[in-house]
Structure 1
C-alpha cells in the first residue's frame, strides 16, 4: 500500500478542491503552513487508520464468533418438556430477595450413562443425583448428594398422575430414573421433600470426560493407591492430576478404596467437585475464551435440560454462581442409616428434614452462618388470598408432633373457638418436627388454607390418602394462633399455656464440605 501524497492529503481538508490546479496567491504562506501541518499528519494517519481498521475487524470477528458460539452452544443442548408428567407440585415458600429481586433456584442434576435425544430418558442408569440450591440473594449455594441406593417412598406408576409418594411404594432411588426418567425422579423428590424443582440437568458421563480435559485436568487426592480393573483406574496414593478418562473412573470407583459403598463414592465426588471449582477459579477460566469455549462446548454437548433452561438462563445462573465465595458453596451428603430389610441399601435419617427445610425456606443449613449482611428470609403467608370455606364446614384432626405435652389439646381449643369442628386430637409417636403442617386430601385445598390461616407460616401439603378431614400437625416452635377474617366464634382466643420451643433433635448441625476446603481433607 503506497503512502498518499501531500496534495491528496491536503485535498482531504474540508473546503479544499483536490482536483484544482492553482498557482500561489497572497495566501500562499498560510496555505504552506496548513500544508506543513498536513504533512505532519500524513505520517500518523496510516498507522492510526490501520489500528482503527484492525480493532474494528477484531470486534466484528469477536461479535461473529460470539454469535456463532452462542448458536453452537445452544444447539448442543437437548431439551425436554416434562411439565405434563409432574402432576401436582409443591408451592414455593421462600420469597424473592429484596435486593436482587430474584427467587431461590433449585436444580436437579443427574449423572447418566446415556444422553437423551429430545424425549424423556428411560432405561438409562443414574449413578449420581445432586440437588443444587442457589439462594435468592445469590450469596450461597447448597449441593446435596442423594445416595443411589436410598430406599424411599415413590409413586407406584409414574405415568399415572394419581399415583403419588403418599400412596406409593418403597423403591430404590436410582430405579426412578431407570424406570421413569427424569420426570419420575423429580416427582419422587418433590413428594418426599415438598421442595419445588425449577430446572433439571442431565449430564452424560462421556461428556464429563471432555469437560475435565477442557479444564486441562483436575487434581484428586486419595489416601491409598487405587488399582481397579472395573473402573480402569490406577492411581498412586496422594495428589494426582487426572485427565477426563481417569476422572470418570475416580468418581465412579467403588472397589479397593474405603468401604466400597456408594456413600464413600459420594465423599470422593464431592471432593472432586470442590477441586473442579478450585481449578476453574485459579486457572481464570473466564479470562481464557478458547479454554472457556472448549469447556462449555463439552458441557453443553453432554447436556439434556428442561425447556426453560436456555443458554440465557444458564448464563445468568453461571454469573450468579461466579460471584459466590467458595467458602459459601457447601456440599452435603444426605444423612442415612442401613435399610433394615437390606443392609446393602440405606434409608434417610429424620435429620435429613433439616436440610430440606433449609432449602425450602431458603435459609442457612443448621450450624452454619449466612454471609454477612444477609437478611433473614420470610415465608410467604398462607392466607394472602380470601378464605372461601367457613370454619364450621371443616373437620380437623390435630396431632402433637412437638414432644411437648398439651400442645394438641391447646390447638384444638383454639380451633373450636374460631368455629372449626375438631374430630380428635392426639399425641404423635414420631420424632419431633418443627412448625405447623396442614395436610389435606383431594378437593380440600381451600379448607386447608382456612385452617393454615390460624397459624401464620403454616405449610400446606397435599395427601391423596386423606378424605375430607384436615390433618393439623403442631411441631416445635409452632406460631401462636390468630383470629382469621371469617371466624365464626365470638369468644376471644384462649390464652396459650403451652409453649413448645426448642430445636428438634433432627435439626442438629449438618456436616458440610465447602468448595474451598483442602481436597485431601
Structure 2
C-alpha cells in the first residue's frame, strides 16, 4: 500500500487523533495534483509536435484518409464576409452527421426506404471565438422549415428561394447546399465543414475507450436498434450510436429532445477526452485519428495541418468554456410536425456574427440626433412594418404614434424577420424621417431603395425599441403602455456547458 492509499483510508476516521496531519496531507496531495494537471496540459503541445515530426508517414496516411469535396460552386459568390481564419479571428466550422446507410459499417441500420437518400440529421455550427477562449456549438434542428435555394442552385438569388425542411438540403445538394442555406439565413460565414457517417462515429467512441451516458428512464427504440436501462452507463460505439439516434420512443419523441441528449453526450465526450489526456497516449491518439479521418468528408482546405493549428490555438480552453445551444424554434403553422425559427434565433446569430459570448450585453445603440426637429407629426404619413415575428407589434406602435399627433399611420407585415428599427424615406423627406426616428431610440435612418412618395416607412425587427415621446409631439394624451416586445428573452437561449453533469 503506498502513502496515498494509507492516507485515503486514514481519512475515514473524521476528527480523531491525527486529523490535522491528515488534513495537511490532503492539502499537499491536492496541490500536487494541481501541479500534475498543469504539467500535463503544458506537455500536450509538446507531445503533439513530436507525433507530427516523428511520424511523417503516419501523418500522410491520416491526411490521405480524408475524402475531399469542393463545394465552391454550390455555395455561390454572394457570401457573407469572412471574420477570421485558422490563424486568427472567429472561426465557424459546420459539423454534419450523415445517416447514409451504404458503405462499410453503415449497412446494419436499414436501407432507409421510409425516407430515401441521405440526410443531415445532426447539424452543429461550431463557433470558435476570435480570442480562442471559448467555443459555442449551435445545434440546428433537422425539422426546421427555412428558405432554401431551389434545386440547391448556388447562383439563385435569395428572393427566389422556397421554404424547405432543413435536412432536405443535404439530400439535394450535400454540404454545399447546407452551407448556402445557413449563410443565406444567418449572414454567418462558414469557414470549413466536416461530414461524418455512422461508422466514423462508432469508431471514434470506441477509440476513446467508450463514453459515459446517463438516462433517467429505460429506452427501447426498435428503429434505432437500441435498448438501455435507466441510470449511468459506459457506452461503446455501437451503443452510443443508438443512444444519439433514439427519438420516437423517448419523451415527447421530438428532434429537440434528441438534440438535448446529443448535447449531453458530446459534453461527456469532451469530459472523457480531457480526463484521459488523449494526446498523452500515442496509441489511443493514433487510433482516434485513424477512426476519425477514415470516415470524414471535408473541404479541400481543411486537412490535418489546419486541424492541428486549430487544436493548438484552443488547447487552453477548458470544458467549462465549451457551450451547447439549440436554435430557438416555434411551431410551424402549415405542419405541426415541423418547426420554424423563433424571433429569438436572431439574438443567437447576432452573437455569432459579433463574436460575442451568449448572455453578454449587446452594444448600446447610438443615440438619436439631438438637433431640433423641423417637421411636426401631423405633417407626416407613416407606414409601420412588422418584421419581428411578434404578432401585433406594428399595431401597438401605430397606437403610440397616433396619440402624439401622427394622424396618417398604417401598419403592415414584412416578408422576413429583420433586426432593430429602420426608418426609410424618399426624396427630400429626411427631416420628416428624423421626427419619426425620434420615436424609436437607436433607429437607423436610410434612404429607401424604391420610391415611397411622401410616406416614411418604419420597419420593426427583433430587438426594436418601444415607441417613446417625440420632442415636438402634439396633444397631451399619455402613450399607451406597451404589452408586446420584440426584444428576445435571453432565457430562451439556455446554453449547456460541456462541464455540466451528464445527468442534468
1:255-300 deviation line (CA, Å, top 9, x unaligned): 3321112111111100000000000000111111111111111111
TM-score w.r.t. length of structure 2: 0.66
Who is 1:112 aligned against?
Answer: 98
Q: CA deviation at 1:320?
A: 2.9
For the residues of structure 1 that align with 2:237 and 2:284, how far apart are their CA atoms? 15
> Max radius of gyration: which structure?
1
1:197-236 deviation line (CA, Å, top 9, x unaligned): 1111111121110000000000000111112222221211
Q: How does 1:335-414 map to 2 (within 5 A)?
A: 335-365=328-358, 368-369=359-360
Who is 2:180 aligned against?
Answer: 187
For the residues of structure 2 that align with 1:328 and 1:106, how far apart are their CA atoms? 16
Indicate how the Cα distance of structure 1 residues 477 and 215 shifts in structure 2: closer, same or farther if over 3 A, else same.
Answer: closer
Contact 2:154 2:180 in 1 (8 A): no
1:89 aligns with 2:83: no
For the residues of structure 2 that align with 1:457 and 1:69, how far apart are their CA atoms? 57
Which shifted more, 352-361 or 502-511? 502-511
Q: CA deviation at 1:477?
A: 7.7
Q: What RMSD in Å do the two structures reach over aligned CA positions?
A: 4.3
Q: CA deviation at 1:92?
A: 3.1
For the residues of structure 2 that align with 1:336 and 1:175, how far apart are their CA atoms? 18
Who is 2:42 aligned against?
Answer: none
TM-score w.r.t. length of structure 1: 0.64
1:416-469 deviation line (CA, Å, top 9, x unaligned): xxxxxxxx9975646996446799xxxxxxxxxxxxxxx999899xxxxx9866
Mind listing any 5+ residue stretches in structure 2 that lack a counterpart?
Answer: 1-49, 104-115, 366-382, 402-407, 425-440, 474-483
1:173 aligns with 2:173: no
Indicate how the Cα distance of structure 1 residues 114 and 96 shifts in structure 2: closer, same or farther if over 3 A, else same.
Answer: closer
Q: CA deviation at 1:129?
A: 0.6
Who is 1:155 aligned against?
Answer: 149
Mind listing any 5+ residue stretches in structure 1 that lack a counterpart?
Answer: 1-60, 371-375, 380-396, 410-423, 440-454, 461-465, 480-493
Indicate how the Cα distance of structure 1 residues 434 and 63 shifts in structure 2: closer, same or farther if over 3 A, else same.
Answer: closer
Who is 2:89 aligned against?
Answer: 103
Which shifted more, 299-308 or 222-231? 222-231
1:290-338 deviation line (CA, Å, top 9, x unaligned): 1111111111111111112121111122223332121221101121122
Q: How does 1:61-460 map to 2 (within 5 A)?
A: 65-92=54-81, 102-114=88-100, 123-159=117-153, 161-164=155-158, 166-365=159-358, 368-369=359-360, 429=413, 434-435=419-420
Q: CA deviation at 1:72?
A: 1.3
Secondary structure in 2 aligned to 1:246? helix
Q: CA deviation at 1:159?
A: 2.6
Indicate how the Cα distance of structure 1 residues 88 and 62 shifts in structure 2: closer, same or farther if over 3 A, else same.
Answer: closer
Secondary structure in 1 aligned to 2:78? coil
Who is 2:487 aligned against?
Answer: 505
Which shifted more, 470-479 or 276-285? 470-479
For the residues of structure 2 that align with 1:351 and 1:112, how far apart are their CA atoms? 28
Q: CA deviation at 1:176?
A: 0.6
Contact 1:227 1:256 in 2 (8 A): yes
Contact 2:271 2:498 in 1 (8 A): yes
Indicate how the Cα distance of structure 1 residues 311 and 378 shifts in structure 2: closer, same or farther if over 3 A, else same.
Answer: farther
1:78-125 deviation line (CA, Å, top 9, x unaligned): 1111112212434338x669xx982111111110133999xxxx9422
Who is 1:53 aligned against?
Answer: none
Q: CA deviation at 1:363?
A: 0.8
